[in-house]
Structure 1
Amino acid sequence: MRTILKILPLSLCLLLIESAGMAGVVPTAAEERSMVMFIAYADVPPYYIDDSEGRGNGILMDVLRAVTGPLNCTVTSMRLPDKRGWEMLEHGGVDVYASAREWIGNPDRFLWTDPFMPNDDVLIYRAGSPQIYSGPESLYGKTVACIKGFVYPTLEGHFGPGRIMRIDATSPEAMLELLVRGRADAVLVNHTEIRWIFRTSREHEPHRFRIDAQPVDRALIRFLFPRGRGWEPMVGQFNRRLHAMRKDGSLNAILDRYK
């Protein structure tokens, strides 16, 4: 290398040094990349839907494939326990995940795209209930069913005696059963998930329930990548694709399939 640099003109020397320093870090525009999507066990239908071929479907994979299709990038999914998935995302093994900045400690340790969908937590009541959510205090004296182990930032400081009575269940279906039996006055659910359950499950009749129009909490779902593994240029490409998909309606078309 030293001999070559003595012979070549300065401009070519600089080009050669720059190319050597970049090798293996950032791919060329024409280079095909493969991308592995980390899927946590909490990513339930319609966010992620297992299929017989092991490719995975649902909102997250459909949006990811639509974004990466023109970017010469193939995507696969890998379902992992939450802790292991985050470790692999940071240190190698998987490349991308979908979450909200508000849910992650020290979010700037990752690269984030623009948001591609909202995530709303909403209250459901029995159909004849006059209850309307206007803030945490409007639930004082009421029993609200929640998912066991979940944290609800907007309401967290309002659970307790004399305020909101929290009762835990392991699934939205179990929470709806508590509501039907009168053991809860309301259930707190993910809006996208509950609409999918009402659409696909014959056991739960939507007309028996009422979804509050006012979300209790909202976060914006984005794709995130690890830093230092060559994905920095991909974030800008993702944002341009998401902007184009919003403009031509293809992003909403994907989201509407799961309502």
Structure 2
Amino acid sequence: MLCGLLALPCAADNLRWGYGPADAMPYVGVEQQRLQRGLAHRLGLELALRLDLPVEFIETPNNRLETYLQQGRLHLICNANPEWVGEPQRLHWSPPLYEEEDVLLQHRDTAPLTSLQSLHGKVLGTSLGYVYSAPLMAAFADQRILRQDVRDLDTSLQMLDKQRLDAVIDMRRNLAYKLAQHPQLRLDFSPWVVQRYQVHCAYGPHLPVAAERLDALLVELRDQGRIEQWLEEALRSAADSPEVSAR
């Protein structure tokens, strides 16, 4: 278990905050096997102060996040959406906190990808355990588009730069952060937006505070512009943040 606490030991009444191993900046920044940067870190520490409750940041495989929430091994995850879990009705969903969109990066020497059909017969770099738009998932299922799960986003982009993939799909902010870190990559955004969506936090049934109280704090931070500010600060830091081996 990886704990990022406010200088306090792990305890049963900590707020256990889960994140996936493929999550990336500006949302999750892992250094020396600990979550130390990004929106999840800033938001988690702020909530810990306001709730007077230590927070643990726990890396969890994506395919176990939902189960761990139900079991109480995690209390919440953020950067989430009800369409990405199997039984969203069993979780409490916060109000929307910000918007994101899934987009494609492609090699600049290739023709622009402008639709689902333009991906037919191509190999798309994806993240293990991630759920994408329903039309794209259907195209993976019948192999009109070949899904290739890659262990992390850096590896995906290196493969794309060498044209071992036809495109990579991820959140726009994640990809923008990586391009700012690695301007030498010969990659461009596709003009096609695969999917736009609202992003929430999801709470399991063992949350140690009232869900309504946590909702109110998150809405306050959203409406004050703090969440958007933290995201913008993380994005601006990309050029000054050389790639650090996280694991």
Query: Which of 28, 31, 49 is the matching residue for 1:48?
Result: 28
Q: 1:222 matched to which residue of 2? A: 200
Q: 1:90 matched to which residue of 2? A: 70
**Structure 2 counterpart of 1:181, one-letter code:** K
Q: 2:82 matched to which residue of 1? A: 101
Q: 1:64 matched to which residue of 2? A: 44
Paired residues of 1:122 and 1:188 also in contact (CA < 8 A): yes
**Any residues of structure 2 matched to 1:164-203 within 5 Å, and which?**
164-201=145-182
Paired residues of 2:84 and 2:130 also in contact (CA < 8 A): no
Q: 2:229 matched to which residue of 1? A: 253
Q: Larger C-alpha radius of gyration, 1 or 2?
A: 1
Pair 1:205 & 2:184 matched: yes
> TM-score, normalised to structure 2's length?
0.72
CA displacement at 1:211 relative to structure 2: 0.9
Task: Mark the runs of 5 or more structure 2 residues left unpaired by the alignment.
Answer: 1-12, 236-247
Query: Which of 214, 217, 225 is the matching residue for 1:238?
Result: 214
For residues 52-96 of structure 1, the C-alpha deviation after alignment (integer angstroms, 9 at most, x for no partner) is 695633211212333443333332212234566544432234322
CA displacement at 1:122 relative to structure 2: 0.9
Task: Mark the runs of 5 or more structure 1 residues left unpaired by the alignment.
Answer: 1-32
Q: Specify whether residues 147 and 112 from structure 1 end up closer, same or farther in structure 2 by C-alpha distance, changes over 3 A only.
A: closer
CA displacement at 1:192 relative to structure 2: 2.5
- Return the structure number with greater helix share: 1
**Any residues of structure 2 matched to 1:130-149 within 5 Å, and which?**
130-133=111-114, 135-147=115-127
Aligned-partner Cα distance in 1 for 2:108–2:87: 41
Sequence identity (%): 21
CA displacement at 1:163 relative to structure 2: 4.2
Paired residue secondary structure (1:50) = strand
Paired residues of 2:98 and 2:228 also in contact (CA < 8 A): no
**Structure 1 counterpart of 2:57, one-letter code:** S
CA displacement at 1:104 relative to structure 2: 0.9
Aligned-partner Cα distance in 2 for 1:144–1:77: 30
Paired residues of 1:141 and 1:165 also in contact (CA < 8 A): yes
Paired residue secondary structure (2:198) = strand
Number of equivalences: 221
**Any residues of structure 2 matched to 1:17-36 within 5 Å, and which?**
34-36=14-16
Paired residues of 2:20 and 2:59 also in contact (CA < 8 A): yes
**Structure 1 counterpart of 2:184, one-letter code:** E
> TM-score, normalised to structure 1's length?
0.69
**Structure 2 counterpart of 1:49, one-letter code:** G
Q: 1:12 matched to which residue of 2? A: none
| Structure possessing the higher relative contact order (Cα contacts under 8 Å, 6 or more residues apart) | 2
